[in-house]
């Protein structure tokens, strides 16, 4: 499901996925990966995510998630939504 590079990235940032069982971490969805890294990752992790997936793909996943339902939108912090909406509108469209 995930590429070896994505799996290595997840292992490197495994502390962010503390509530996910160890044997399931490398198989998380792209939506969950983007949500977790944008909400809780540091600048280096966000930059690495952009390099691995591409900023346009991350933006697409982000906007699909926040526009899908209020529940999914609620998974992101309010400041995270504001910051990345501005960033993606400027650099990913």
- How many domains are there within the chain? 1
Cβ atoms of 72 and 48 within 8 Å: the answer is no
pLDDT tens for each residue of 24-59: 999 999 999 999 999 999 999 999 999 999 999 999
Residue 7's Cβ-count burial label (10 Å; 0-12, 13-18, 19+) is middle
Q: Roughly how many angstroms between the first and final C-alpha of the chain, as a whole number?
A: 27
Please give the structure tokens belonging to residue 72.
Answer: 């999914």
pTM: 0.92
Domain that holds residue 9: 4-91
Cα(86)–Cα(89) distance, rounded to whole angstroms?
A: 5
Cα(43)–Cα(68) distance, rounded to whole angstroms?
A: 26
Provide the percentage of residues in the chain whose pLDDT is more than 70.
Answer: 100
């Amino acid at each position: 499901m995930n590429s070896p590079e994505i799996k290595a990235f997840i292992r490197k940032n495994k502390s962010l996925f503390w509530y996910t069982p160890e044997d399931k971490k490398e198989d998380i969805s792209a939506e969950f990966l983007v949500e977790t890294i944008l909400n809780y990752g540091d600048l280096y992790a966000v930059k690495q995510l952009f390099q691995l997936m591409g900023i346009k793909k991350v933006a697409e996943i982000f906007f699909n998630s926040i526009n899908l339902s209020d529940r999914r939108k609620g998974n992101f912090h309010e400041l995270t939504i504001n910051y990345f909406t501005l960033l993606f509108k400027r650099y990913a469209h």
